[in-house]
Amino acid sequence: MANSSVIEQYTWTPTIFKATTPEAGVDVWVWDAGETVVVSALATNASGTIAEQTLTKAIHGVVSTVTSTTNKTPHKTRFLKYGIEVLEITETIAAGTTPDRFVEDNANITEASATAVSNYTGFAIDHGTDTVTLSGATVWTEDKLYDRLQYEAVEVPQYGTPEVMSTVDGINHILAYDLIIDDHEFDGNNGSFAVASGKEVIFRDSAGRAKDLQITGDARIAGSAVTSTLDNVDVTGTLEFEIAQVFQFTDSTIAVAHNSAGATVTIDLLGDSAVASTTGDPIVLNQAVTLTVNVIDSVGSVIASAQTSIFKDDPVKSNRTEYMNKDTNASGISTEAFNYPGSPVPVIWKVRKSDNADDPRYFPRSGSGTITTAGFEVTVTLRENEFI
């Protein structure tokens, strides 16, 4: 018996509507079950339709006396136009059909002009490595990046990734590729990225920095990021450091800081910043807090020029590092800045005003406490020494 094959095909002619109105200019794409493009960028006409297409359901073959069937359906159909939401439908082709498909405006796009978006500079995308790179002097925002990637979804569709960056509310976004912020500032507009498994946000080179962004997932600081800063940026996963230097984080919270640089990384934690844990090579956490001693007398009046000191509480006297040694000001207060090391620090405090030149003189007092992420503050009441 001779070899032969039968191709089973059916017609498919969709019509695209927005609400009840036919939508022109929608690009129609179709992939078969083998991920082969069989319809590419056919734009709908004024009636919202395209020319009739013939789609293959299956190829039935006979070799000698052995029969086989190669299924070409279900098909992945996608309808694309900048300014509307990406519509993707999986369809099983088993008969001729003229389906109606309905698209909606994308309310999360902020720049209506596709031409303007296509002219954004400092943007590069590599679909082979799943990487988006932002560079140059332009300040990119989360909204601006979303618009540019929506344009990309229309112009360069990818079979497995309908949208590199998606959102349902315009604030919280899902990122399917690595994002490299390269020598550049990124403003998250107080939004968030949920980074796909195995992907990350990478801050790279001399001015790779970001602000007002929550990253759900992992991030990395790479390249030569000598001025890299994070301002109000939270990372729920691991933030990896490939460079050993001093970084400044302001109002930023990092779940895990991992140092793979081979030398010590120092992080100045400013404002309401915190690093929950560290791994890898040494990481020094400097968090500026304030040590405060308030001194009053028995009736609540402030005592100026009282001598105050704070030391590390350690059983070994030589290890009792002095953190503060100051006299109170006219308001009865003494303060000192302190770099919080990331864990509570037990301290001893002492207050006295009993020199011969002091009038009145007071009994000295001492006590203990703990420096925390909130710093340390104590109010000390001195009792006048009436016997002198």
Mean pLDDT value of segment 205-217: 80
The pLDDT value given to residue 181: 87
Per cent of the chain over pLDDT 70 is 97
pLDDT of residue 358: 80
Q: What is the pLDDT of residues 91-137, one digit of tens each?
A: 999 999 999 999 999 999 999 999 999 999 999 999 999 999 998 76
Split at pLDDT 50, 70, 90, the class of 70 is very high
What's residue 317's pLDDT? 87
Longest dimension (CA), the chain: 125
Confidence of residue 343 (pLDDT cuts 50, 70, 90): confident
Q: Which residue has the higher pLDDT, 387 or 137?
A: 387
What is the predicted pLDDT for the residue at 114? 97
pLDDT at 285 over 80: yes
pTM: 0.78
CA 367 to CA 348: how far, in whole Å? 6
Place 272 in a pLDDT band, splitting at 50, 70 and 90.
confident
Other beta carbons within 10 Å of 160: 10
Which pLDDT band holds residue 184 (cuts at 50, 70, 90)?
A: confident
Per-residue model confidence (pLDDT) at position 138: 73
User: What CA–CA distance (Å, rounded) separates 2 from 65?
Assistant: 9
**Range with lowest mean pLDDT among 91-100, 270-279, 320-329:** 270-279
pLDDT at position 207, please? 58
Smallest CA-to-CA distance from 343 within 281, 269, 280, 245 is with 269
pLDDT in tens, 30-60: 999 999 999 999 999 999 999 999 999 999 9
Report whether 74 contacts 33 (CB < 8 A). Answer: yes
Q: What is the 3-state secondary structure (H, E, C) of the chain?
A: CCCEEEEEEEEECCEEEECCEECCCCEEEEECCCCCEEEEEEECCCCCECCCEEEEEEEEEEECCEEEEEECCCEEEEEECCCECCEEEEECCCCCECCEEEECECCCCCCCCHHHHHCCCCEEEECCCCEEEECCCCCEEHHHHHHHHHHHHHHCCECCECCCEEECCCCEEEECCEEEEECCEEEEEEEEEEECCCCEEEEECCCCEEEEEEEECEEEEECCCCCCEEEEEEEEEEEEECCCCEEEEECCEEEEEEECCCCCEEEEEECCCEEEEEEECCEEEEEEEEEEEEEEECCCCECCCCEEEEEECCCCHHHCCEEEEEECCCCCEEEEEEEECCCCEEEEEEEECCCCCCCCCECCEEEEEEEECCEEEEEEEECECCCC
Cα 54 vs. chain centroid, distance in angstroms? 45
pLDDT at 136: 76
What does the pLDDT average to over 207-225? 83
**Distance of alpha carbon 168 from alpha carbon 85, whole angstroms:** 10
Residue 225's pLDDT is 59
The pLDDT of residue 206 is above 60? no
Residue 27 pLDDT more than 70?
yes
Measured distance between the N- and C-terminal CA atoms of the chain, rounded to whole angstroms:
125
DSSP per-residue string spanning 20-85: TEE--S-EEEEE-TTS-EEEEEEEP-TTSB---EEEEEEEEEEETTEEEEEE--SEEEEEE-TTB-
Residues 184 and 134: their CA atoms lie apart, in Å, by: 7
Per-residue pLDDT at 230 exceeds 90: no
Q: What percent of the chain has pLDDT over 90?
A: 74
For the segment 293-300, the average pLDDT, to the nearest whole number, is 96
User: Other CB atoms closer than 10 Å to residue 15's CB: what's the count?
Assistant: 17
> Band of the pLDDT at 63, cuts 50, 70, 90?
confident
Structure tokens at 368: 């203990």
Instruction: Report whether 206 contacts 225 (CB < 8 A).
Output: yes
Helix (H, G, I), strand (E, B) or coil at 206: coil
- Token pair recorded at residue 385: 């020494």
Pairwise CA distance, residues 279 & 265, whole Å: 11
CA atoms of 338 and 344, how far apart (whole Å): 12
Determine the pLDDT at residue 226.
59
Q: Give the mean pLDDT of 320-349.
A: 93
Nearest to 131 by CA among 95, 158, 108: 158
- Of the two residues 184 and 280, the one the predictor is more confident about is 280
Tokens found for residue 298: 């028995």
- Report, as an integer, the average pLDDT of 131-158: 92
